[in-house]
Amino acid sequence: MHATHTTSAELLGVAGKGASIVICPATEANLGDGVFDLPGYAAAKGLWSIGSDSHVTRSWPEELRLLEYSQRLTLQQRNIAARILGHESSAAALFEAALAGGHPATGQALGGIAPGQRADFVTLDLQSPALLGVPADHVLDALVFSSPGAAFDEVFVAGERVVAHGFATGPGQDAARKSELAENFARAMRSLWGVAR
């Protein structure tokens, strides 16, 4: 987890064992923990993924953006992920590496949309204002680096659509259920914050 205070020898050891490090850039930034040595770990062919350890954010595009920007600020260079991971796009380099390092930890066949894989994926609303006019081959770049308002339209789990147009589908997912879930969540958050209604 994090691996912000590791030595080069420790990173080589983790990479050599085929283990995957979970990098949590938003948590690391929020706590002032430090910056992961992405270039050093990439040179060792290490596997990594991203997470949201303290739930400062639960947005994977934001985590990838923070990972890249922390590298740029530390190294005072641009397009770190693209350069060290051998890709034209930093967003694509980060996304693909995070998937490659994350899916083995699930014990599921989540290696992409291919025969034998589970088909867990999301679709974007390309008509959302944040993505209007963005060429198809730059949508991932826009999503990670310039369009935090881009909306996910559908979510599929094992090939089954579980979210459509931003709302859960299936039995028991009517407006009353959504309202009940929202109130339960708000109640839990107020309790955690120690706030009376």
- Catalytic residues, by residue number, are 2, 53
Distance of CA 58 to the CA centre of its chain: 8
Q: Residue holding tokens 């699930």?
A: 106
Instruction: Please list the residues that pair with 160 across neighbouring strands.
Output: 157
Per-residue burial over 101-122, b if 16 or more Cβ lie within 10 Å, else e, is bbbeeeeeebeeeeeebbebee
The H or E element containing residue 29 is: helix 25-31
Q: Which residues pair with 156 in a beta bridge?
A: 121, 161
Contact 104, 112 (CB under 8 A): no
